Structure 1
Amino acid sequence: MKKLGFGAMRLPENGRFSKGIDLDLTCEMIDYFIEKGYNYFDTAYPYHSGKSEETLKKCLVERYSREDFILIDKLPTFFLKKEEDMEKYFNIQQERCGVEYFDYYLIHDIAKRNLNAIRKFNPYEYVKKLKKEGKVKHIGFSFHDDAEFLEEMLNEMPEIEVVMLQINYLDWESSAVQSRKCYEICRKYNKEIMVMEPLKGGTLVNVPDKAKDILKTSKPEMSVPSWALRFVAGLKDVSIVFSGMHSIEDVKENIETMDNFEPLDEKEHKILQDVAGIIKGVNIIPCTYCNYCAENCEDNIPISKFFELYNADLRENHFKFSKYLDEYNEYASIAAYASDCTFCGNCVDSCPQQLDIPEYMGDVADYFE
């Protein structure tokens, strides 16, 4: 099995402000991906406001034999209001994707902020029932919390087969994400490990110039993203690494890395530690641009996009004459400004990175406005 998976959370869209997915380009990306011998695809109910699952139906399921691909979907614990909702969402997902079964079905976003729903509705028993009925082949959960809570959940859900973890070299020793500690807990319990956010939403693609110079000087033939992919793919017991691909160039570059895969050596690990230190020193907002926050924003603020523009400006050192100010104003004029935030807190409750988003919104407003 090849270790690269196609993440369908950041599919290409039609136009700058459009929420519609570019189907022709997505089909081209999927065709190239499968042609090169890769077949794992990951989606979820909220990705692209539900359009991700529908797009995979059109570009993948309706164009390839079912045995040609492995499809992963997730039960949205954060949307559950009553027990019957689990079956409701699963049926919707089956219809959206156009499949009779999912190869993997994960409980989405196991975290303390979703603990009430986990305790009240017991999605663990529900996914076990789906497996028994043959509607899913393997069960697991995606995880966004600390290692201690992960161990607690694995003890409560012993039949879970796979855990999807956020792992990358920037979060490896993070006190919030705890990539290394969570990885070690999964190995302790002999669970299959899938990796999400290996590039941290593009943060490890668009690194500061100083960090980029170090990587390019060390290995000129390697792209900046390939360092991050090699870091996670080289970890023991990692079965698949999902990269959210936005263009055909992303697909080709990631495949080139994995087709010619070499694990990092000790010297290269040390280089990435230095690079991580540089990135952290720039004071960028540690956002992965998943956009869960914006989906729940009462003020209609494009939070992830504003964070992306803010981070890009900081990385490129345009502190006095902002390179991205015009783009910020374009988005704000269509939706809302960062200063329109009313501090309702909905965004905080939905953030997998546990960010104090209203506080960061103040930073963005001060910076751009």
Structure 2
Amino acid sequence: MKQKKLGFGCMRLPLTNSQDQTSIDLPQFCKMVDTFLQKGFTYFDTAYMYHNYVSETMVREALVKRYPRDSYTITTKLPTMMLKTKDDMERIFNEQLEKCGVEYFDYYLLHCLNKANYAIAQKLDSFRFIEDKKNEGKIRKIGFSYHDNSELLDEILTAHPEVEFVQLQLNYLDWDNSNIQSRKCYEICKKHDKPVIVMEPIKGGMLAKVPEEVEKMFKSYASQLSVASWAIRFAATHENVMMVLSGMSSCEQLEDNVSYMENFKPLDEEEMNIIDKAVDTINSSIAIPCTACQYCVEGCPKRIPIPKYFELYNYFTQFGTASNSLLHYKNFANNHGRASDCIACRQCENHCPQHLHIVDNLKKISAEFDK
């Protein structure tokens, strides 16, 4: 199946209640799936724990039950960070087949490999597990998603040439970031001849809400294109990128994305120069570069809604007023832990794909909002 370069990421589906990640707006999601397929796009990406473990089920309801199996591509992931024994892999994989309502996955990944999770995968022989499932006909292509440095990526691909693709965080803000190393990791994939699937091209929505100066820069060059389009097109422009995932949360976001990706046009040199200028401006305005992936929230002993507090703090630092952010902070704190409740166990930091100093940032937030 020849695929267009935009994939539907099912990590940020439309909700009926913004405080409840399981409250998927199924009618809207179905409408989005319909539009996506009608426009010739076929790739859907989900994972075991997305939306508090209901994303795969919603994909079954909105996509699998409503369309023939050969009309779409479905991808999900084995949560390496949750594995304790080899039996966990078989149990979770079979559960995923049932939740998604399919007999096989087109693409299947070891989820979120970094130094710690790679050690788990090695210990439990997870690469052999997914290769065996491929040989059984239950997986078409195997790979992994990755959140660490380029040196470790090179080590993994050297040790496991059997993988067929790598999913990387790649966007224009992280391209030369020393922590994320998008460019270096992309080049390692090219070295090993592994195509790249891009995640977080808009950095959790951050590159759809850029500083006013950057928005004016984009609009003065191409007034008809959205701010987000620059980020999606940047990722898709790279020749070794086979797919760019976008976590679309509304019909409007989906319609915007398909409008410029239906007949994709790579960025030219002038547009790349504009993006270079945008990066400098954006970097100077972001206090905490969080993508709101929610990985840090799982298992927090104090139930602190870390991404929500980071978002409020960024708003506060960008717009110079605490009143609105403080109001929302108090609303969250009524039902969740406050920033000051952090006990510095650093479990969240071990799971953070952005390698943020979460504990230190929570102290900054507490100093502003708990006083």
TM-score, normalised to structure 1, is: 0.97
Partner of 2:132: 129
In the alignment, which residue of structure 2 is the partner of 1:213? 216
Give the counterpart of 1:5 among 4, 7, 18.
7
What are the residue-to-residue correspondences of 1:1-369 with 2, within 5 Å?
Answer: 1-19=3-21, 20-315=23-318, 317=319, 319-369=320-370
Q: Alpha carbons of 1:143 and 1:321: their partners in 2 closer, same or farther (altered >3 Å)?
A: closer
Q: Provide structure 1 residue ranges, at least 5 long, that are not aligned to the other structure.
A: none
Amino acid corresponding to residue 144 of structure 1 in structure 2? H
Is contact 2:40-2:262 (8 Å) kept? no
CA-CA distance at 1:113 after TM superposition:
2.2
Which deviates further from its counterpart, 355-364 or 100-109? 355-364
Q: Per-residue displacement from partner, 1:14-58 (whole Å, max 9, x unpaired)?
A: 123223111111111111111111110000111111110110011
Residue type of the partner of 1:336? G
Q: Assess if the C-alpha contact under 8 Å between 2:316 and 2:322 holds in 1.
A: no
Contact 2:6–2:43 (8 Å) recurs in 1: yes
3-state SS of 2:62 partner: helix
Shift, 1:321, TM fit: 4.2
Residues of 1 paired with 2:282 and 2:248: CA distance? Answer: 22
Listed one character per residue, the Cα deviations across residues 177-213 of structure 1 (whole Å, up to 9, x for unaligned) are 1100111111111112110000000010011112212
SS in 2 for 1:295: coil
CA distance in 2, matches of 1:42, 1:226: 20
% identity of equivalent residues: 46
User: Contact 1:10–1:245 at 8 Å: present in 2 too?
Assistant: yes
CA distance in 2, matches of 1:260, 1:122: 41
Partner SS, residue 197 of structure 2? strand
Mapped to 2, the partners of 1:36 and 1:284 lie a distance apart of: 38
Q: 1:313 to 1:218 in 2, by over 3 A?
A: farther
The answer to which of 98-107 and 321-330 deviates more is 321-330
Q: How far apart, in 2, do the equivalents of 1:174 and 1:11 lie?
A: 28
Q: Which moved more, 1:200-209 or 1:336-345?
A: 336-345
Question: Which deviates more, 105-114 or 324-333?
Answer: 324-333
Hey, what's the Cα distance between the residues in 2 that align with 1:106 and 1:312? 34
Indicate if the aligned counterparts of 1:296 and 1:350 stay in contact, CA closer than 8 A.
no
How far apart in 2 are the matches of 1:56 and 1:150?
Answer: 30
Cα distance between partner residues in 2 of 1:322 and 1:220: 33
**8 A Cα contact 1:7 1:242, kept in partner:** yes
Question: Which region of structure 1 is more displaced relative to structure 2, 80-89 or 277-286?
Answer: 277-286
Distance 2:294 2:285 in 1: 22
Amino acid corresponding to residue 8 of structure 2 in structure 1: F
Q: Distance in 2 between matches of 1:253 and 1:314?
A: 29
Q: Is the 8 A contact 1:341 1:358 kept in 2?
A: yes
2:144 alignment partner AA: F
Partner Cα distance (1:248, 1:313) in 2 = 29
TM superposition shift of 1:309: 2.1
Is contact 1:29-1:247 (8 Å) kept? yes
